[in-house]
Structure 1
Amino acid sequence: MLGAIIGDIVGSVYEWNNIKTKDFPLFRDDCFFTDDTVMTVATADALMNGGKKDDFIDAYKKWGRLYPDAGYGGRFSNWINSDDRKPYNSWGNGSAMRVSPCAWIMDCGFYARTGCWPSNSWDAVTTSAAVTHNHPEGIKGAQATAAAIFLCRFYAEGHAFDYSEPWSIDQLKNEVRTLIQENLGYDLSQTLDEIRPSYRFDESCQGSVPQAIIAFLESTDFEDAIRNAISLGGDSDTIAAITGSIAEAAYGIPQWIKDKAWTYLDEPLRDVCCRWYQFLKKSA
């Protein structure tokens, strides 16, 4: 989850001031958290409260109303502030930027033993999207992001399992690329250098999630992944949030980056983050 928050904070100052380079200060004094952070925290809160449909609806409305100026899209903002609990067929990338906590409750040990994806927690991925973003593309964006995170977690944790051979980072990335292309239909064949020159703001899942995944696939470590994502331009904070959520699972996050990101969060957001990581420890 923190990987998504870091990507959001770093990208916050570039969303409307795109840069097409990896050479920039990772944290600026004017960086801030946006709706990507708030809704990622809301997803974690929903999961700790049971992870059912109503839990996600309640959490998104609650946290959205607590932070009304975080930068939500118009339709989502209207939904937050209404009494309507029905989805509105969105294909926006909000479903993908907020999904990362769902991927962290998926059981890597079960996958190692059986080769099957844990269905209950996979259902949470779909539900977290579908309460608002029930368009097929909205759901697919969340699923692709969560699938990448889960495979990266399995790579990182797989060394502890007797059921599988450890993967190299290159094997991991090949697995991520193959699974997402073959099962979810995203084209991940382009390189960052091919995407970057003409890429512009695109808030759709189909126009930003593949690019965010490619930013991870071409990375060498967590920081490099964030820099890749920002260098594309477009919806910088959201693309970096998606990339960061995947990179966290594969590489971990350097402590200095964690410590710096923490200073941008207020107490309510920090409280949920702390409770979330305790929740994961107890669930392990």
Structure 2
Amino acid sequence: MTLEFKNHSLFGPVIGDIVGSVFEGKNVKTIDVDLFNPSTRFTDDTVLTIAVADALLNNKDYTESFQYWGRKYSWAGYGRNFREWMFAENPKPYNSWGNGSAMRVSPIAYAFDHLVQVMEEAKNSAIVTHDHPEGIKGAQAIAAAVFLARTGKTKQEIREFITKEFDYDLDRSIEEIRPEYKFDVSCQGSVPEAIICFLDSSSYESAIRLAISLGGDSDTIACMAGSIAEAFYNDIPEALLDYADKKLPTIMKEIIQAFQNRFT
């Protein structure tokens, strides 16, 4: 089933996740990759991004939404701690600093009109699992970057705000980071790099290619970079939109369309 979408919001992180899925841990270290590999699939990044959108749309508790969608797509590649959490009868946060809090947060940047609201809601979405300060910080940084991008801020303004607010080192280039970068699922070791992928990019596709070229947790870095690039460029190639459309189940596309209709 193909749906008619008004615009591209939420496809940015989803496409990044899908095309990055076959490169996770491969360390290809080049932007010259095939974005349409037939083996790609959506992973936990997409599932939980949809879960955040569903929670915002339908006034669901984040715990309820994460457990519902996580259990529905239980094969999607969750970390061990989150997997235990999503099947628990009385789940509690587990002090995680992992980038799972940041990969799923982008819908919040579209659902609120003020940065302070976005920051607070990003924290709310993180703390049900990732209550470590770095886990909260990573979610807030990505949400803030998406919000600033979609509200017309320049790359320099985004760089300056994220640097000042979160003390991330964004004065590096992907060319400098790439040679020694290794697999890192921490917020502090992947969120700044994802933001730099966006800052160094010239288009949405460029941001995704730079993210993949870093190596490491490629799908999640591309998911995070893609969420910011989508908001900034507002121009995703039709071929990538069509590709993602074919990879997603109808129930997810319905959430995306309902989210776009309401919030964007």
TM-score if structure 2 supplies the norm length?
A: 0.93
Of 4, 13, 34, which residue of structure 2 is paired with 1:25? 34
Contact 1:95 1:133 in 2 (8 A): yes
Do residues 42 (structure 1) and 24 (structure 2) align?
Answer: no
In structure 1, distance between residues paired with 2:216 and 2:166: 23
Query: CA offsets per residue over residues 150-194 of structure 1, 9 Å max, x none?
Result: 110111xxxxxxxxxxx6xxxx11111111111111111111111
Matched with 1:260 is 243
Matched with 1:146 is 143
Matched with 1:162 is none
In structure 2, distance between residues paired with 1:34 and 1:179: 30
Identity %: 53
Contact 2:31 2:209 in 1 (8 A): yes
1:95-106 correspondence runs (5 A): 95-106=101-112
1:1-284 correspondence runs (5 A): 1-50=10-59, 55-107=61-113, 117-119=115-117, 121-155=118-152, 172-252=154-234, 253-281=236-264
- The alignment yields a C-alpha RMSD, in angstroms, of 1.2
Contact 1:106 1:118 in 2 (8 A): no
Name the aligned partner's letter for residue 18 of structure 2. Answer: I
Q: Which runs of 5+ in 2 are unaligned?
A: 1-9
In structure 2, distance between residues paired with 1:196 and 1:16: 13
Q: Which runs of 5+ in 1 are unaligned?
A: 112-116, 156-166
| Alpha-carbon offset, residue 118 of structure 1 | 4.4
In structure 1, distance between residues paired with 2:216 and 2:26: 9
Name the aligned partner's letter for residue 26 of structure 2. Answer: N
SS of structure 2 residue aligned to 1:127: helix
Contact 1:203 1:235 in 2 (8 A): yes
TM-score if structure 1 supplies the norm length?
A: 0.87
Aligned length: 254
Name the aligned partner's letter for residue 86 of structure 2. Answer: I
Query: CA offsets per residue over residues 80-109 of structure 1, 9 Å max, x none?
Result: 0111232111000000000000011121xx
SS of structure 2 residue aligned to 1:100: coil
In structure 2, distance between residues paired with 1:75 and 1:118: 30
Contact 1:106 1:122 in 2 (8 A): no
Name the aligned partner's letter for residue 261 of structure 2. Answer: Q
**Runs of 4+ off more than 6 Å:** none
In structure 2, distance between residues paired with 1:94 and 1:123: 17
Contact 2:26 2:216 in 1 (8 A): no
| Alpha-carbon offset, residue 17 of structure 1 | 2.0
| Alpha-carbon offset, residue 23 of structure 1 | 0.3
In structure 2, distance between residues paired with 1:14 and 1:27: 12
Name the aligned partner's letter for residue 256 of structure 1. Answer: A
In structure 1, distance between residues paired with 2:239 and 2:19: 14
Name the aligned partner's letter for residue 173 of structure 1. Answer: K
